[in-house]
């Protein structure tokens, strides 16, 4: 079965339920330990016994510079026209001109949450570049719900608490893989390069920029000799080749059900496809080694979308093998200046487009059709997010797909473009996270965004020591609670 064939068919639901807490590996040459997807028929539990809870996952894909939504004289180009149920028909007809229509194929799995805002405003310092910066303030609050440091301050400020991805990984990851998967795509200008993932107060975690280096870690081949790694990149050898004997033995196991054989086939096809994409997208092996050693991927604009898709494929692979329960992907630096190429057109720098002028601050000539071009970038991010959802849907479980066990979040550290406002933050969620989230809906949160994060933590399965939902993530001074409309009925 090919990947394309899988994505075009309806999900087959297996009757057996796997022991999803069991980590299964194939061991091959050089000490390789390759993670496998969940295989229902190889569970060690009696089928009549109550199965353990399925693991739940969360991924946050961050866009910069706000979205092209209603803002003063600017028209609405992002949200649907009406709150309430979402359908493929409504997104492709009534709302076809809105950015979220790019996700129409996943309408019944979407949860759009408007109306949330940051609790902590700009500090009262001088204006940028030396003082307060909305990009740093928004980015550092986005997944932490904490205020920013004053020393360092302004564009150098840091969040004063851990981020939600770190909390999930800290409480749900296996001891062998304690950290969230933290990825970055694009150039770094040196001005607010990273803002997203925090271990704790002022402890920013750097994102991995090189998909090849991430792949090496995920499939456990970092210890292989450099010539063999180069052969894998050049597609003369595959990771699959290193575990071929063990794979054939597994496929021959009498206990292995047909559904699990299909899952294994799809898993190894996904690995081959990733290796092919890496070989076609990244520089030659000697340059890859230099990039990995120097952590110096230069973030060429014309490769941005390809790198984003590769990172998304790696996130799906990491979740499928239960290497981590949380991931972040930051697209562009704090004030993303990428010149996106869309439909054969190279656009002006994204940050300047968001301000509608050829300038990064308040001065510059107007950019023709800037708002429409910003909308094009929003739609491009929607298409990229749809790629992630399709990739998560590729992996089947005993009751559906990996997307069903995940909450994938497309977010932005600012709400609007020209004013860089921080009210009505765009939260686009997909996946019910094991049935914990009410999908197929567009709702109004109308509260501080910490309550959104509280619901995400609760959906993933985190609780208080007493077993109650998480209601107090973020700054202790914030009002606790959840956004009730996100809850399943």
Examine residue 154 and state whether it is found in any structural domain, yes or no: no
Residue that finishes a domain, picked among 281, 296, 311? 296
Task: Average the pLDDT over 340-351 and give the result.
Answer: 95
Q: In this predicted model, which residue has the larger pLDDT, 320 or 455?
A: 455
Identify whether residues 369 and 230 lie together within a single domain: no
| Residue 231: predicted pLDDT | 76
Examine residue 307 and state whether it is found in any structural domain, yes or no: no
Could you tell me the pLDDT band of residue 5, with boundaries at 50, 70 and 90? very low
Q: Which residue in the block uniquely carries the two structure tokens 């909390």? A: 167
Identify whether residues 370 and 468 lie together within a single domain: yes
What is the spatial distance between Cα 353 and Cα 368, in angstroms, rounded to a whole number? 9
Q: Which tokens belong to 291?
A: 């990039």
| Residue 282: predicted pLDDT | 59
ω before 41 within 30° of 0 (cis)?
Answer: no
Could you tell me the pLDDT band of residue 286, with boundaries at 50, 70 and 90? low
Mean pLDDT in the chain?
84
pLDDT at 422 over 70: yes
pLDDT at 51 over 70: no
Q: In this predicted model, which residue has the larger pLDDT, 352 or 237?
A: 352
Contact 457, 168 (CB under 8 A): yes
Contact 191, 333 (CB under 8 A): yes
Which domain does 262 fall in, by range? 1-53+210-296
Could you tell me the pLDDT band of residue 267, with boundaries at 50, 70 and 90? confident
Domain count, the chain: 2
Residue that finishes a domain, picked among 248, 279, 296? 296
Of 136-145, 224-233, 251-260, 352-361, least confident by mean pLDDT is 224-233
- Give 413's DSSP letter: S
Identify whether residues 43 and 60 lie together within a single domain: no
- In this structure, how many other beta carbons lie within 10 angstroms of the beta carbon of residue 287? 10
Give the tens place of pLDDT for each residue, 63-91.
999 999 999 899 999 999 999 999 999 99
Identify whether residues 194 and 260 lie together within a single domain: no
Identify whether residues 8 and 91 lie together within a single domain: no
Identify whether residues 192 and 228 lie together within a single domain: no
> Of all residues in the chain, what percent carry a pLDDT higher than 90?
57
Could you tell me the pLDDT band of residue 92, with boundaries at 50, 70 and 90? very high
- Give 95's DSSP letter: T
| Residue 294: predicted pLDDT | 33
pLDDT at 223 over 90: no
CATH for 202? 3.40.720
Examine residue 310 and state whether it is found in any structural domain, yes or no: no
| Residue 126: predicted pLDDT | 43
**Strand pairing class (25-27; 33-35):** antiparallel
Identify whether residues 277 and 408 lie together within a single domain: no
Identify whether residues 218 and 358 lie together within a single domain: no
Identify whether residues 347 and 268 lie together within a single domain: no
Examine residue 301 and state whether it is found in any structural domain, yes or no: no
Examine residue 345 and state whether it is found in any structural domain, yes or no: yes
Give the tens place of pLDDT for each residue, 111-124.
999 999 999 875 44
Identify whether residues 327 and 288 lie together within a single domain: no
What is the spatial distance between Cα 436 and Cα 261, in angstroms, rounded to a whole number? 29
> Of all residues in the chain, what percent carry a pLDDT higher than 70?
83
Q: Which tokens belong to 413?
A: 């550290």
**Strand pairing class (203-204; 198-200):** antiparallel
């Amino acid at each position: 079965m090919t990947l394309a064939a899988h994505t075009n068919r309806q999900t087959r639901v297996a009757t057996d339920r796997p022991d999803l807490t069991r980590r299964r590996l194939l061991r091959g040459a050089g000490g390789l330990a390759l993670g496998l997807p969940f295989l229902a028929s190889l569970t060690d539990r009696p089928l009549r016994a109550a199965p353990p809870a399925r693991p739940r996952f969360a991924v946050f894909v961050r866009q910069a510079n706000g979205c092209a939504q209603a803002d003063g004289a600017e028209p609405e180009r992002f949200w649907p026209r009406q709150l309430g149920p979402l359908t493929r028909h409504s997104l492709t007809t009534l709302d076809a001109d809105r950015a979220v229509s790019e996700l129409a194929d996943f309408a019944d799995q979407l949860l759009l949450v408007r109306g949330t805002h940051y609790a902590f405003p700009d500090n009262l310092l001088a204006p940028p570049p030396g003082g307060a910066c909305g990009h740093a303030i928004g980015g550092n609050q986005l997944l932490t719900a904490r205020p920013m440091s004053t020393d360092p301050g302004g564009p150098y400020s840091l969040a004063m608490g851990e981020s939600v991805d770190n909390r999930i990984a800290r409480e749900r990851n296996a001891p062998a893989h304690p950290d969230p998967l933290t990825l970055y795509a694009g150039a770094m200008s040196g001005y607010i390069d990273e803002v997203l993932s925090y271990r704790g107060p002022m402890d920013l975690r750097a994102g991995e920029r090189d998909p090849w280096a991430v792949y090496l870690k995920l499939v456990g081949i970092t210890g292989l000799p450099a010539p063999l790694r180069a052969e894998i990149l050049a597609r003369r050898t595959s990771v699959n080749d290193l575990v071929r004997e063990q794979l054939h033995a597994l496929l021959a196991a009498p206990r292995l059900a047909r559904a699990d054989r299909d899952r294994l086939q799809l898993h190894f096809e996904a690995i081959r496809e990733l290796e092919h994409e890496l070989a076609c997208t990244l520089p030659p092996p000697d340059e890859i080694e230099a990039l990995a050693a120097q952590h110096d991927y230069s973030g060429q604009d014309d490769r941005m979308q390809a790198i984003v898709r590769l990172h998304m494929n790696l996130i799906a692979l990491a979740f499928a093998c239960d290497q981590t329960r949380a991931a972040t992907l930051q697209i562009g630096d704090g004030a993303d200046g990428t010149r996106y190429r869309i439909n054969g057109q190279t656009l002006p720098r994204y940050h300047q487009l968001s301000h509608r002028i050829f300038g990064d601050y308040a001065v510059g000539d107007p950019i023709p059709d800037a708002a429409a071009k910003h909308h094009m970038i929003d739609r491009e991010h929607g298409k990229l997010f749809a790629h992630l959802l399709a990739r998560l849907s590729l992996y089947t479980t005993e009751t559906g797909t990996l997307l069903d066990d995940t909450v994938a979040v497309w977010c932005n550290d600012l709400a609007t473009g020209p004013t860089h406002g921080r009210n009505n933050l765009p939260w686009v969620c997909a996946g019910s996270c094991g049935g914990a989230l009410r999908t197929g809906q567009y709702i109004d949160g109308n509260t501080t965004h910490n309550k959104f994060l509280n619901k995400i933590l609760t959906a993933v399965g985190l609780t208080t020591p007493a077993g109650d939902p998480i209601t107090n993530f973020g700054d202790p001074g914030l009002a606790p609670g959840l956004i009730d409309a996100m809850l399943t009925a």
